[in-house]
Structure 1
Amino acid sequence: MTAVRGETRARLLDTALGLFTVHGVEGTSLQMIADALGVTKAAVYYHFRTKDEITEAVVEPALDELVAILDRAATMPRPGPRADYLIGEFVDLVVRNRVLVAVLCSDPGVNRAVDRILHGEQNVMTRLPAMLAGPDADEGTEVAAHVALAGVAMAGGSPALTGMDDETLRRHLVDAMRRQLGRPRRRDTP
């Protein structure tokens, strides 16, 4: 029974994300999600009380992964390897979650719904650019870190790049992010 409930919940979240990409969070109703799943609205309420809860649940796995990346990076004593690790892992996360990133970048309703997660205890919106810029960063480096992160997210979720395969997109995003941060590719890096 638990496995079926988990499968239903996963289908519900996949369906919600698909509808969010077409209609936005604001334009997607619980009834639309229920209709797309072929269930009653009450069945949706069985899993989630509000659309904000659904939105948080859609975003939460990627944010949990980002927190894990930050936690791992925090154990790295040297800023250079830490930045290299963050660049690669952040780009990988964006590429794996292209559809979600597109919604996050284009729909203010998502940001409002997940504000508690983004700015809560883990505070990924502060930790990530600070760790990327390094402890002794000047204002220019801090701005470059924010620009690099936002640029990778926007490009990774861009509808204009949906035809690009993941590995090609990843390679270009890593290169662009490294250039933005003044970290040219090392010769021994693939």
Structure 2
Amino acid sequence: MAARPAAPDTRTRLLETALELFTRHGVEGTSLQMIADALGVTKAAVYYHFKTKDEITEAVAEPALRQLRTVVHEATALRRRGAQVDHVLAGVVDLAIQHRALAAVFSTDPGVARALERTLHDEENVKECLTELLVGPGEDPAAAVAAHVALAGIALAGGSPALAAVPDEELRAHLLEVGRRVLGRPRRVTRG
């Protein structure tokens, strides 16, 4: 007899359900009662795992944020600035593609920004490190604008319903190309 895959635990199902509801209704438009109803449990069961919707939002985002922290740590370990920028760009694109539903919610819902402000400004200040890696040394307003446009654009495109049918690898190639151009890092053309 073949072993059945283990059913996801209640907490995992809760987070998956919350993300689905956030995608459809936004964070602000999703209540704890809606999550409980979609799961077929009581609101008390939701409260057992999370006390607030902000806690749920943070938990939904945690795997992607953990990956983002890893990308930042890996990039800071690289010696060349160009390698750092390329690593951050590729890492952010990969995250947007791997977590398309989350990228859609992150880039369009103001409730996410409020809930994640604490998480993104943790002791390492990942958001600031990410921007510094893309902008580089000095205070160059044009480079800062380019970094913010690239990051926001990647998130918007990665989560865009209009691009949902684009295969991951194709979307990845386009996002990398556009991101490189926005950041002033056009791909070098090698001649045969």
Q: Is this a same-fold pair by TM over 0.5? A: yes
2:104 aligns to what? 102
Local SS of the residue matching 1:90: helix
- String of CA shifts for 1:135-170, please: whole Å, max 9, x gaps: 246221222111111111111111111111111111
Query: Which amino acid in 2 is paired with 1:73?
Result: A
- String of CA shifts for 1:10-55, please: whole Å, max 9, x gaps: 1100000000111111111111111111111111111111111101
Query: Which amino acid in 1 is paired with 2:69?
Result: V
Q: In structure 1, what is the Cα distance between the partners aligned to 2:184 and 2:131? A: 14
1:113 aligns to what? 115
TM-score (norm 1): 0.91
- String of CA shifts for 1:94-131, please: whole Å, max 9, x gaps: 11111001001111111111110122323222111210
Query: Which amino acid in 2 is paired with 1:106?
Result: T
Pairing partner for 1:44 from 34, 43, 46: 46
Change in CA separation of 1:137 and 1:88 when aligned onto 2, cut-off 3 Å: farther
TM-score (norm 2): 0.90
Q: In structure 1, what is the Cα distance between the partners aligned to 2:185 and 2:28? A: 39
RMSD: 1.7
Q: In structure 2, what is the Cα distance between the partners aligned to 1:88 and 1:187? A: 19
Q: In structure 2, what is the Cα distance between the partners aligned to 1:87 and 1:52? A: 28
Query: Which amino acid in 1 is paired with 2:163?
Result: L
2:87 aligns to what? 85
2:3 aligns to what? none
Does the alignment pair 1:9 with 2:4?
no
Query: Which amino acid in 2 is paired with 1:141?
Result: A
Local SS of the residue matching 2:106: helix
Change in CA separation of 1:5 and 1:165 when aligned onto 2, cut-off 3 Å: closer
Q: In structure 1, what is the Cα distance between the partners aligned to 2:23 and 2:92? A: 22
1:172 aligns to what? 174
Q: In structure 2, what is the Cα distance between the partners aligned to 1:179 and 1:70? A: 21
Q: In structure 1, what is the Cα distance between the partners aligned to 2:7 and 2:51? A: 16
Runs of 4+ in 1 over 3 A off after TM superposition: none
Aligned residues with identical type, % of pairs: 59
Q: How many residues align?
A: 185
Query: Which amino acid in 2 is paired with 1:38?
Result: G
Q: In structure 1, what is the Cα distance between the partners aligned to 2:57 and 2:159? A: 17
- String of CA shifts for 1:44-79, please: whole Å, max 9, x gaps: 111111111101101111111101110111111110
Pairing partner for 1:128 from 127, 130, 133: 130
Local SS of the residue matching 1:174: helix
